[in-house]
Chain A
Amino acid sequence: MSLQDTKPLIGRVQEVGGLVSLSEYETGGGYTAAHKALKQMTPSEVIDLVREANLRGRGGAGFPTGVKWGFAKGEPQTPGYKYLVCNGDEMEPGTFKDRYLIKFNPHSLIEGMILGAYAIGAEKAYVFLRGEYHEPNRQLARAIAEAREKNYLGRSIFGSDFNLDLRIHLSGGRYICGEETALLNALEGKRGQPRYKPPFPPASGAWGRPTIVNNVETLCNVPAIIRNGAQWYHDLGLTDDAGTKIYGISGRVNKPGLWELPMGTPIRELVDVHAGGMRDGYKLRGILPGGASTDYLVEEHFDLPMDYKTIQDAGSRMGTGTMILMDDSICPVDMARNLQHFFAQESCGFCTPCREGLPWVEELLADIENGNGKDGDLELLDQNARYIGAPGNTFCLHATGAIEPLQSALKYFRDDFEHHIEHKSCPYREN
């Protein structure tokens, strides 16, 4: 039994102790899935297998990947007409998993993209990569060149009639580009502003053509599913959600980091076992389970398994599965201010509630934190949260995501907000 049997994403990285070279990837079974699919399977069979495995999007939304691929199936089969785009614009604060995958296992992403492109009938694919990801960019560019040399990319791959041109687009840097229609505008060289939906990208995406956008981790899961089957993938998970997940923890723990673990690993196990527990003298108060744009979870939730459904039922989202921990030395009001500073700055500015509302919220929070809070400020924040956060009041979900940590901070840490306003000071500051 190899590590890859239980860790399809990074098992090979651990076996070789770092960057997986092309030859190391191949001796670990790499590119056999692409070979098998292109030689023995129809695109529909690939889609069906991924759907059966219940692979859900790892970028945050958790949409079933096979279903998404199915949306692009059956469109005009002109060669090169459709696009597959990998969303490697990892800018959700607190998220650092895609960097790891691209840097250490770039060929698994390439193989996943060959499979995805074959399934949907795309002959051109892009990796939309963060401009700040210099080292992952170098590793991926080298891996793409190696794959071209071996004819794993290019024309007539494995002697089939399938062609694939894969390129990297380096982003100019803006959080909103992680939103898939903003990403497509940025890919087209435009301002990264979200588009009105519908039409959705599988109908009209990059340059007006059917386009599927998948997260890095999502695509990296595909080769092992094709190799080992849907049932195997299903059995990897502890709960109803299938597969493994790359979980991450940042904050005041003894061993911050990333781990590939069965989907549904409990929060407390992640914190206490894998992250080595909280550092001496610090107590865990709250977590943002899947990045900055997810609602806080608190003590009553810490025994829950981290999977899509459970975390959603608890009032938050699993998001990217990389958690940010708030310990008892952190002021919840100031942390909310930090979060809203980010969202206000990264708003694309198109919709009024987001462009005007988020800076207003940030200002209110800064006032409260600095001892200038007034009676009525909390009600104003509540009101703003309801109005800005309501889906449908803005084009995309940027503002909705921004409000998630705010509304839950107002709910779980309300005493802290009230204390700041009442005493006109922040109790977490020294002096």
Chain B
Amino acid sequence: MSAVELISPLTDEERNEIEAEVAHLPDRESAAIDALMIVQKHRGWISDESLRAIAKFLDMSPASLDGIATFYNLIHRQPVGRNVVMVCDSVSCYVMGADSFAVKVQDHLGIKFGETTPDDCFTLLPIVCLGACDRAPTMLINEDLFGPVKEDELTEIFSRYS
């Protein structure tokens, strides 16, 4: 396999969005996190091929970019489903029953944390405190915050994303 095939080239749209970030930063590498988030927004996750393309575009090594990508909770280095469900497991939600709530969400989706439904519709992940502790237990689906979530609401909530 040639080196070219190990890269999934960035689209014009992705390049433009990354360049807009680079424009107000002192150097290209400083846009690393922004670039990862931009590409993830378009592709859902950061594959090795995407990672190499971003690294090349920012004049940095894929290894150091991977060090950054794997550091952050919100950057996915594995494929995710069309919708990402994040359930808070921090202390305020814990006090309000997050552990049993998490079991119910897993039962409902039929997957464990870290897994994706067979139809690729949902990926389920734990997340740290979502900063909505007066609404515990909380859950984030893509960009939508839910809380307090009751078990009998789960069917309706998930159906909006199916």
Residues on the A chain within 8 Å of B144, using CB: 134
**Does any Cβ of B come within 8 Å of A154's Cβ?**
no
- B129 with A91: CB separation less than 8 A: yes
Q: Is the interface of B mostly helix, strand, loop or mixed?
A: mixed
* Least distance between B77 CB and chain A CB atoms (Å): 12
List the B side residues contacting A18 at CB < 8 Å: none
- The residues of A that contact B145 with a CB separation of less than 8 Å are 134-135
Chain B min CB distance to A263 (Å): 21
Asked whether any CB of chain A lies closer than 8 Å to the CB of B131, the reply is: yes
Instruction: Report whether B96 and A132 are in contact in the complex, using a CB–CB cutoff of 8 Å.
Output: no
Task: Find the residue from B31, B37, B129, B130 having the highest chain A CB count within 10 A.
Answer: B129
Q: Which residue on B lies nearest to A176, using beta carbons?
A: B71
Q: Are B36 and A172 closer than 8 Å at their CB atoms?
A: yes
Contact: A250 with B74, CB < 8 Å? no
Query: Measured between C-beta atoms, what is the minimum distance from B80 to chain A in Å?
Result: 14
Which of A170, A250, A258, A346 contacts B37 (CB under 8 A)? A170
Determine the distance from Cα of A327 to Cα of B128 in the docked complex, in whole angstroms.
22
Task: Using CB atoms, name the residue of chain A closest to B72.
Answer: A172
B73 near A173 with CB under 8 A, answer yes
CA distance A91 to B75 in the complex (A): 17
CB neighbours (8 Å) of B130 from chain A are: 132
A9 lies within 8 A of chain B by Cβ: no
B127 / chain A contacts, CB cutoff of 8 Å: 132
Within the complex, what minimum Cβ distance (angstroms) separates A208 from chain B? Answer: 9
Q: Is A322 located at the chain interface by the 8 A CB criterion?
A: yes
Segment with Cβ contacts to A, from B4-12, B87-95, B116-124: B87-95
Within 8 Å by CB of A172, from B30, B37, B92, B143, lies B37
Asked if B109 is at the interface (CB within 8 A of a chain A CB), the reply is no
Q: How far is the CA of A91 from the CA of B95 in the complex (A)?
A: 17
Q: Which of A284-303 contact B (CB under 8 A)?
A: 288, 292
Chain B residues with Cβ below 8 Å from A197 are none
Quick check: is A75 within 8 A (CB to CB) of the other chain? no
| Cross-chain contact A189 with B32 (CB below 8 angstroms) | yes
Query: Could you say which residues of chain B place their CB within 8 Å of the CB of A172?
Result: 33, 36-37, 68, 71-75
Q: A191-B71, A330-B95 are in contact. Are A250 and B131 (CB under 8 A)?
A: no
Residues in B whose Cβ lies below 8 Å from that of A267: none
CA A382 to CA B160, docked complex, whole Å: 49
Binds B, one of A39-47, A93-101, A108-116, A355-363: A93-101
Q: Which one, A30-38, A235-243, A334-342, A392-400, is touching chain B?
A: A334-342
Contact with B along A176-197 (1 / 0, CB 8 A): 0000000000101111100000
| A-contact bits for B33-71, CB 8 A (1 contact / 0 none) | 110110000000000000000000000000000011001
Which residues does chain B contribute within 8 Å of A325, judged by CB atoms?
95
Q: Known interface pairs A172-B72, A325-B95. Does A250 touch B134 (Cβ–Cβ under 8 Å)?
A: yes
Query: Are B132 and A99 in contact, with the CB atoms below 8 A?
Result: yes
B136 at the interface (CB under 8 A from A): yes
Complex Cα distance A132/B131, Å?
A: 9
CA distance A251 to B30 in the complex (A): 40
Bitwise, B101-124 to A at CB < 8 A (1) or not (0) is: 000000000000000000000000
Q: Is the CB of B73 within 8 A of A252?
A: no
Instruction: Select B140's contact among A95, A132, A327, beta carbons within 8 Å.
Output: A132
Q: Are B95 and A251 in contact (CB under 8 A)?
A: yes
Nearest CB on A from B16, distance (A) = 17
Do B90 and A93 have beta carbons less than 8 Å apart? Answer: yes
The answer to whether A94 and B128 touch (CB under 8 A), given A172-B74, A174-B73, is no
- Whether, in the assembled complex, A256 has its beta carbon less than 8 Å from a beta carbon of chain B, the answer is yes
Contacts of A130 in B (CB 8 A): 131
Report A365 CB to chain B, min CB distance, Å: 13
Q: Which chain A positions have C-beta within 8 A of B73?
A: 172-174
In whole angstroms, what is the CA distance A169 to B143 when docked? 17
Contact, CB under 8 Å: A186 / B129: no
Q: Which of B68, B72, B133 sits near A250, CB closer than 8 Å?
A: B133
B interface residue numbers (CB < 8 A to A): 24-26, 29-34, 36-37, 67-68, 71-75, 86, 89-92, 94-96, 127-136, 140, 143-145
Apart from A207-B26, A250-B136, 11 more pairs, CB < 8 Å = A94-B90, A94-B129, A96-B134, A172-B36, A173-B73, A173-B128, A248-B134, A250-B133, A252-B95, A252-B96, A326-B95
The 4 A-B pairs of least Cβ separation, nearest first, read: A172-B72, A250-B133, A173-B73, A189-B32
What are 29 A-B residue pairs whose CB atoms fall within 8 Å in the complex? A90-B131, A94-B90, A95-B129, A95-B131, A95-B133, A96-B131, A135-B145, A169-B33, A170-B34, A172-B37, A172-B71, A172-B72, A173-B74, A174-B71, A190-B32, A191-B68, A207-B30, A249-B134, A250-B96, A251-B92, A251-B96, A252-B95, A257-B134, A258-B134, A324-B91, A324-B95, A338-B90, A342-B89, A342-B90
